[in-house]
Amino acid sequence: MFWTGELIARNAPVRRRPVAERPPRLDRAVAAYLGLAVGDALGATVEFLTPNEIRQQIGTHMDITGGGWLRLKPGQVTDDTTMSLALGESILGVGRVDALAAADAFDAWMRGKPVDIGNTVRRNLIGFRKTGNPEAPASEHDAGNGAAMRTLPVALATLGKPAETILAASRAQAHVTHHNTLSDAACETLIQMVHDLITGRDIHEIERERAAELVRRHPVFAYDRKRRDNPSGFVVETLQAVFQSFFGTESFEDCLIDVVNRGGDADTTGAIAGMLAGARYGCAEIPKRWLKTLDPASHDACERQAEALFGMSTLL
């Protein structure tokens, strides 16, 4: 596939460090990317099921087994991971987050016949093919989670950058397919959380400050940690489920099992929760059985890209 690392090797050579030599922040950056892929591969099996259907068919879903409505191989990832990798390649290729480069990368990704693709993503990429404008028209209806699910490469490339740079970068990538206030707010909050987590900030402070600020600005995002919702692809429901699981558990494994067993858009809640949990707990806390099952090409691409994007940040 086009994103498996050739472009990185050509344009932004990185000497890969042995895992044991990784500084803690780099380790958490890599764990965020592996967490995204692991959560995607784990959740895809139960995407669109209800919690009851999962209980009846599987019991507690806790292993990466493939299958699901997409009939995946065990360890295979979906658009959440592959669109992130396409975006990351575009950032490394031009040395910054660029809307046109991102749109071209997503367009090439779509031509590669991805295993799944969201309706809003498809519609607005077809629009881009017609107009050449990498910014989709603003729409109240485009509040799906398709931009939020792929925001990690922007977070890694903008670590330590000024707030205006981060905001512009987030919107540049997001608006290629989702030009929507709630999607923007979600993307920006997730990027800030990834930055906080990678720099080792206290989790309670992150919840009190970042999640609370999002809810203050957009009360529709209010979440109750005690609830176990069945989230749709609406970015608000996606983030509510992710926050319920992420702030309500104390290990990488518990967080992911909690979120994907809610069903619904489980590959995407898994991917976003996996990104946050990876950045919080680091590589050593990702269950080995999940990493072993993860598709090796995706594993390698995520790891290489996390290192290369982290290398662009000012935190080295």
Which C-beta is closer to Mn ion: that of 82 or that of 90?
82
d(CA 307, CA 16): 8
String of contacts with Mn ion for each residue 25-64, x by CB under 5 A? ----------------------------------------
| Conformational region of residue 183, where left means phi above 0, alpha means psi within -120 to 50, and beta covers everything else | alpha
Does the protein bind Mn ion through residue 158 (CB under 5 A)?
no
Does the protein bind Mn ion through residue 237 (CB under 5 A)?
no
Angle, CA 269 vertex, CA 49 and CA 66 arms, to 5°: 55
Q: How far is the CB of 243 from Mn ion (least distance, A)?
A: 17
How many chain residues bind Mn ion (CB under 5 A)?
Answer: 7
Exactly one of 98, 258, 267, 295 binds Mn ion (CB under 5 A); which one?
Answer: 267
Does the protein bind Mn ion through residue 177 (CB under 5 A)?
no
On the CB side of 105, CA atoms within 13 Å amount to 25
Exactly one of 30, 76, 79, 172 binds Mn ion (CB under 5 A); which one?
Answer: 79
DSSP 121-165: HHHHHHHHHHH--SSPPP-TT--BSTTGGG-HHHHHHTTT--HHH
Which C-beta is closer to Mn ion: that of 188 or that of 267?
267
Which C-beta is closer to Mn ion: that of 36 or that of 211?
36
Which C-beta is closer to Mn ion: that of 63 or that of 116?
116
Which C-beta is closer to Mn ion: that of 43 or that of 287?
43
Please say whether the dihedral angle defined by the alpha carbons of residues 288, 294, 299 and 300, taken in this order, is positive or negative: positive
Which C-beta is closer to Mn ion: that of 107 or that of 116?
116
Identify the three-state secondary structure at position 288.
Answer: helix
d(CA 252, CA 89): 27
Q: How far is the CB of 73 from Mn ion (least distance, A)?
A: 15
Does the protein bind Mn ion through residue 78 (CB under 5 A)?
yes
Length, in residues, of the chain: 316
Q: How far is the CB of 183 from Mn ion (least distance, A)?
A: 15
* Residue 114: C-alpha distances to residues 86, 216, 239, 283 (Å): 12, 37, 24, 28
Kindly list the residues in this chain that would bind Mn ion in the complex (CB under 5 A): 78-80, 116, 265, 267-268
